[in-house]
Amino acid sequence: MANNDDLLKKIIAHAKEYGFIFPSSEIYDGLSAVYDYAQYGVELKNNIKQYWWRSMVQLHENIVGIDSAIFMHPAIWKASGHVDAFNDPLIDNKDSKKRYRADVLIEDYLQKIEDKLEKEIEKAKKRFDNFDETLYRQTNERAVGYQKKIDEITENFAKLMNGNDLAGIKQMIEELEITCPVSGTKNWTDVRQFNLMFSTQMGSVSEDADTIYLRPETAQGIFVNFSNVYKTGRMKIPFGIAQIGKAFRNEIVARQFIFRMREFEQMEMQFFVRPGEELKWFDFWKQERMKWHHALGIAPENYRFHDHEKLAHYANAATDIEFKFPFGFKELEGIHSRTDYDLTQHEKYSGKKLRYFDPETNESYVPYVIETSIGVDRMFLAIFSNACREEKLEDGTVRTLLCLPPVLAPVKVAVLPLVKKDGLPEKAREIMDMLKPHYLCQYDEKDAIGRRYRRQDAIGTPYCVTVDNQTMEDNTVTIRERDSMQQKRVTISELNNFLSL
Ligand code: ATP
């Protein structure tokens, strides 16, 4: 069985070999934590974005979309708290000279105990089923011990993070005897705060230049457009504004492939509600977003909620939807009840009123906000890593396949003439012309049919349409389904109906 590291390596290799993701600037040895999406990657990524956009904007009559600029007035980041507080606690190992996020070191430590706990629970279950009372009791005791340790560390850790107690965090790392994965030593520096925003200069003359920031989240572009959208869109509370766009963070620890990048994309929606109703809507969006994930058909046990112990300064409730990545359960999406913090701050800093007049109550107020925020790239990794499989066939060979949900697959249909003669390629081209206005299709006539099927399996194409000699006689083709490999004969005129994804 491949361990987690091997699994991730396989996924990275597959993404590169089959044209999904390349390291950025590869011929110059790459740029850390920056990636390019290749020919199939960009299709999958666009499909994810479209799937989100449709479900948020098209299916909710009270949600509209915007596309705000990446560059924004620098005062916005002062108002939002990012200039002063968008920090991560960092720590260096003096021997390896490697830099880490101090909170991530502790979270990784906790994850290891959680893994042990999970194993003990599994063992205990087996021993219980086998009526092995003594061994069951021993295992159970160990599990209880692990759980106690997890609770203790989690509670202390939340206190330290909430209190911004950097010395306390260092002490915790020392007490837990956390070592540097590279040097293996416990020779740590003090913990320091590090601001994650990238800055640049706007203006051609550097003396006059203003420092501006590459946005670290798309949310602020929504808040500063609140009044514009509310008035021009004649929106009525509760209503939402959605946006998909790039965000930039100078992450200290950039590893785990596209899980944590320095340039990434977010799909965010801010939902404006009456003050006092925010927790009801928070619960609504929590459920709604989980349903969206489940609708893709990935096994529900791969998802879980993780309610926050440490609430951000602007939030009165927060949860993450975590996904079981190859390196364990990690945040995929955040759902936050942001109170009226952002709009109030922007009122203060801009001097402009950001209020909603409620015709039902005859009152004017600053709305409260529920945010749903998911990384496109993290969603890509979740879908891709879950889909990447190796399957042993009856003839002993192994096929590599990507079990992507059909709605997200880059190529929907491959059209394959069985041989390159007898008019089959021409017939296949006719079918291509018929299908390509509706789906992204691929024509392939090179190599034996079995190899062509394998190539399509590896990029996740749900259907292969094969044109053979019988096609020339009765206008039927075979459709091969990727996961079952089963084939069915249908007439060409039925194809569009059959394939409608
Ligand atoms: P983390 O704790 O993993 O750093 P976060 O809590 O800072 O994430 P948010 O600020 O809530 O993340 O951002 C919302 C979403 O944006 C995350 O759930 C994640 O999907 C995505 N995201 C955040 N940072 C990155 C990154 N560096 N690379 C890729 N996606 C990211």
Q: What is the CATH number of the domain that holds 482?
A: 3.40.50.800
Decide: 244 and 267 in contact? Cβ < 8 Å: yes
CA triple 373-377-378, angle to 5 deg? 65
Question: Could you tell me if residue 7 is inside a domain?
Answer: no
Which pair of tokens denotes residue 332? 């995929």
What per-residue confidence (pLDDT) applies to 161?
A: 87
Same domain, yes or no: 48 and 105: no
Mutate to test the pocket of ligand 1, among 82, 378, 380 (most ligand atoms within 8 A of CB): 378
In which element (H, E) is residue 405 found? Answer: none
Decide: 197 and 213 in contact? Cβ < 8 Å: yes
Domain boundary among 333, 366, 388: 388
Counting as low any pLDDT under 50, the low residues of the chain are 1
Question: Could you tell me if residue 36 is inside a domain?
Answer: no
For ligand 1, say whether the CB of 334 is within 6 Å of any of its atoms: yes
In which element (H, E) is residue 333 found? Answer: strand 328-339
**Dist. CA 3 → ligand 1 center (Å):** 25
* Strand residues in 130-219 grouped as ranges (E): 192-195, 199-202, 210-213
* Distance between CA atoms of residues 459 and 343, nearest Å: 44
Closest of 446, 469, 439, 481 to residue 43, by C-alpha: 439
Question: Could you tell me if residue 30 is inside a domain?
Answer: no
* 145 CB-near residues (< 8 Å, 6+ apart): none
**pLDDT per residue as tens digits for the range 236-274:** 999 999 999 999 999 987 678 999 999 999 999 999 999
For ligand 1, say whether the CB of 261 is within 6 Å of any of its atoms: yes
**pLDDT per residue as tens digits for the range 434-467:** 999 999 999 999 999 999 999 999 999 999 999 9
Q: Name the residue range of residue 119's domain.
A: 100-177
What per-residue confidence (pLDDT) applies to 204?
A: 65
Q: Is the C-alpha dihedral spanning 239, 244, 248, 251 positive or negative?
A: positive
Same domain, yes or no: 375 and 457: no
* Distance between CA atoms of residues 173 and 180, nearest Å: 11
Domain boundary among 388, 404, 438: 388
Same domain, yes or no: 307 and 453: no
Closest of 400, 266, 279, 386 to residue 325, by C-alpha: 386
Same domain, yes or no: 240 and 362: yes
**Dist. CA 18 → ligand 1 center (Å):** 27
| Ligand 1, atom 1: closest residue by C-alpha | 331
What per-residue confidence (pLDDT) applies to 313?
A: 76
Which pair of tokens denotes residue 280? 């009801």
Question: Could you tell me if residue 10 is inside a domain?
Answer: no
Same domain, yes or no: 106 and 59: no
Same domain, yes or no: 359 and 472: no
| Ligand 1, atom 25: closest residue by C-alpha | 260
Question: Could you tell me if residue 92 is inside a domain?
Answer: no
CB atoms within 10 A of CB 48: 24
Same domain, yes or no: 404 and 314: no
Same domain, yes or no: 378 and 247: yes
For ligand 1, say whether the CB of 266 is within 6 Å of any of its atoms: yes
Same domain, yes or no: 243 and 378: yes
Mutate to test the pocket of ligand 1, among 90, 220, 264, 319 (most ligand atoms within 8 A of CB): 264
For ligand 1, say whether the CB of 377 is within 6 Å of any of its atoms: yes
Same domain, yes or no: 271 and 371: yes
Decide: 100 and 111 in contact? Cβ < 8 Å: no
Question: Could you tell me if residue 183 is inside a domain?
Answer: no
Same domain, yes or no: 307 and 290: yes
Q: Is the peptide bond before 275 cis (omega within 30 degrees of 0)?
A: no
Burial of 359 (0-12, 13-18, 19+ CB in 10 A): exposed
Same domain, yes or no: 360 and 242: yes
* 61-64 own/partner pairs: CB under 8 Å, 24+ apart: 62/235, 62/236, 62/238, 62/239, 62/240, 63/239, 63/240, 63/241, 63/242, 63/269, 63/271, 64/229, 64/233, 64/235, 64/239, 64/240, 64/241, 64/242
What per-residue confidence (pLDDT) applies to 1?
A: 39
Mutate to test the pocket of ligand 1, among 243, 249, 331 (most ligand atoms within 8 A of CB): 331
CA triple 87-68-262, angle to 5 deg? 35
CA triple 276-282-288, angle to 5 deg? 145
CB atoms within 10 A of CB 389: 12
Q: Work out how many domains the chain is built from and give that number.
A: 3
Question: Could you tell me if residue 252 is inside a domain?
Answer: yes
Domain boundary among 177, 209, 236: 177
3-state DSSP assignment of residue 441: strand
| Ligand 1, atom 10: closest residue by C-alpha | 217
| Ligand 1, atom 31: closest residue by C-alpha | 375
Question: Could you tell me if residue 472 is inside a domain?
Answer: yes
CATH code of the domain covering residue 323: 3.30.930.10
Mutate to test the pocket of ligand 1, among 373, 380, 383 (most ligand atoms within 8 A of CB): 373
| Ligand 1, atom 26: closest residue by C-alpha | 260
3-state DSSP assignment of residue 428: helix
